[in-house]
Amino acid sequence: MHTLAVARAVRGIEPLVAAEIRRAGLGVVRGVRHREVWFEPADPGPELLELRMADDVLLVAAVVEGAGRDKESLTRLTRAARELDAESLTKLAQRITGSPYGVRDGGVEVSASFVGRRNYSRFDIEDAVGAELARPAGLAYHSRRDGRVPPEGSMAWRVTVEGEQAVIALRVPARPLHRRSYKTESIPGTLHPPVAAAMAGLARLDRAATVLDPCCGAGTTLIEARALAPRTRLLGLDHDPHAVHIAAANAARDAALGLAARGVARAIAWSVADAGRIPLPGGSVDRVLVNPPWDRQVAPTGRLRRDPARLWREIHRVLAVGGIVVALLPEPWQPPGFTVNRMVHLTLSGRHPVIAVLRRSASRG
C-alpha cells in the first residue's frame, strides 16, 4: 500500500509548498486542497522534516466519506478511528523522525478543523476519534475541550473536514514544523517562518549576491533565506536594538543547529539602522525581503514614523535595476518605481495580507 502524506500550509501558499515538495524530490504531489498539499512520499525519511514552507507534515490514516453537516458524521468518524491501523503509521513516523515519539510519553491528542457550517464543534470531532485512537496502544486521550492543553510529547493526530470528506492523519514530528528550534526569542509582529520561507523562495535567491531586510525584527526572513542560499551575503537592519539583538541570537542558534544538517553557512550581518536612511550605497543590493511595520502591533519609528513611504524610496535607491523585492503587505499595493511580478494572497491569523513580488524599474516614475 502507498503511503500518503499531507503537508499543512498557510492558506495561499499551498502551490508553493507543492513546488517545494517537487523541487526537493520528496514525492509525487497528488492534490492541493484548502491549506493542504497531498503527496506520495518517494521514500518516507527524515528529509520530510526539512520542508520549510509547510506548517506541518502528517501521514494519512483514513479518508472518511459522508462527513456531512449532521451529527451522525461523528459516528462515522469514531468507526473510522477504531478501524484504522495506528500502529503501522506510528512505526513509520518513528522511522522518519528517528525517535520513539508517541509511544513513550504523553498519550494522544487530536486537533480538528473544518470548512463550512456543521451541527457539531471541533471538540465533538476530536472527542469522537480521540479515545479510539488512544485505546489500541493503551494510551490516555487528552481532550482539548474547555481550553485544556494536552501535555507536550503527546502523539498528535489531526482531523480535517472539507465538504463531505474527513481526513484523519498523524503528525510526523513531535512539534509542528513551523515551530523552528532557532526561534526561541521573538518580537511582536514577527513573521510566521513558513511564510518567510515562501518569501525567500519567491525571491529567486540563486541569482542574488546580496540580500537585505531593512526591518528585520527577529531575523526570520534572512534566517529562512540562508537555508536556501547559504553562501549569499545577507544583511539585516532594524531601528530597534533589542530586535537586532534577538535576530543575531536566533541566527546563531540556527547556524549551530543547522551545522550538522546543512553544513557551514555564511554569517548574517545585523546592524541597528533606520530604514528611512539605509546605510548602503545606491544599487548595492540584489534582493530585499521585508515585512514592514504596518499595523498597530508594530509601529514605524525613526524617519518612517512621519513618512512611512520613505522606506520604499530607500529600497528603490539601494536596489540594483531589475532587483526584486518580496514584501509582506497588509493589502495589494504597487509602490512607485516598481512593477508587480506576482501577488500571493494569504489568510494569516484572521487577516488577509499579500506577498508582493516587485521588480525595481529604472526610474521612480
Write out the residues near ligand SAM by the rule CB under 6 A: 187, 189-191, 214-218, 220-221, 237-240, 243, 274-276, 291, 293, 298, 300-304
Which residue lies nearer to ligand SAM by CB, 26 or 211? 211
Shortest spacing between CB 342 and ligand SAM, in angstroms: 19
Shortest spacing between CB 76 and ligand SAM, in angstroms: 42
Four-residue CA torsion sign, 349, 52, 190, 302: negative
Shortest spacing between CB 163 and ligand SAM, in angstroms: 35
Which residue lies nearer to ligand SAM by CB, 28 or 272? 272
Which residue lies nearer to ligand SAM by CB, 208 or 218? 218
Which residue lies nearer to ligand SAM by CB, 4 or 275? 275
CB-based contacts of 110: which residues, under 8 Å, 6+ apart?
125, 126, 127, 129, 130, 133, 141, 144, 156, 157, 158, 159
* Gap between the Cα atoms of 319 and 2, Å rounded: 48
Shortest spacing between CB 292 and ligand SAM, in angstroms: 6
Four-residue CA torsion sign, 133, 139, 140, 145: negative
Shortest spacing between CB 25 and ligand SAM, in angstroms: 29
- Measure Cα distances from 192 to 173, 196, 203, 215, 219 in Å: 18, 6, 17, 15, 11
Instruction: Spell out a b/e string for 296-306, using b for 16 or more CB atoms within 10 Å of the CB, else e.
Output: eebebeebbee
Shortest spacing between CB 186 and ligand SAM, in angstroms: 7
Q: Which amino acid type is present at position 124?
A: D
Which residue lies nearer to ligand SAM by CB, 44 or 353? 353
Shortest spacing between CB 276 and ligand SAM, in angstroms: 5
Q: Which amino acid type is present at position 77?
A: L
Q: Note whether 51 and 20 are within 8 A (CB).
A: yes
Residue at shortest CB range from ligand SAM: 217
Which residue lies nearer to ligand SAM by CB, 257 or 264? 257
| Nearest alpha-carbon partner for 60 in 164, 146, 165 | 165
DSSP H or E run through 12: none
Q: 302 — phi, psi (to 5°)?
A: 55, -140
Which residue lies nearer to ligand SAM by CB, 237 or 255? 237
| Nearest alpha-carbon partner for 253 in 243, 268, 236, 238 | 268
Shortest spacing between CB 139 and ligand SAM, in angstroms: 37
Which residue lies nearer to ligand SAM by CB, 84 or 223? 223
Shortest spacing between CB 353 and ligand SAM, in angstroms: 11
Which residue lies nearer to ligand SAM by CB, 45 or 189? 189
Q: Note whether 283 and 320 are within 8 A (CB).
A: yes
Could you tell me the end-to-end alpha-carbon distance of the chain, in angstroms, rounded to an integer?
59
CB-based contacts of 102: which residues, under 8 Å, 6+ apart?
90, 93, 94, 154, 155, 170, 174
* Gap between the Cα atoms of 102 and 104, Å rounded: 6
Which residue lies nearer to ligand SAM by CB, 58 or 268? 268
Shortest spacing between CB 305 and ligand SAM, in angstroms: 7
Cell numbers found for residue 339: 512593477
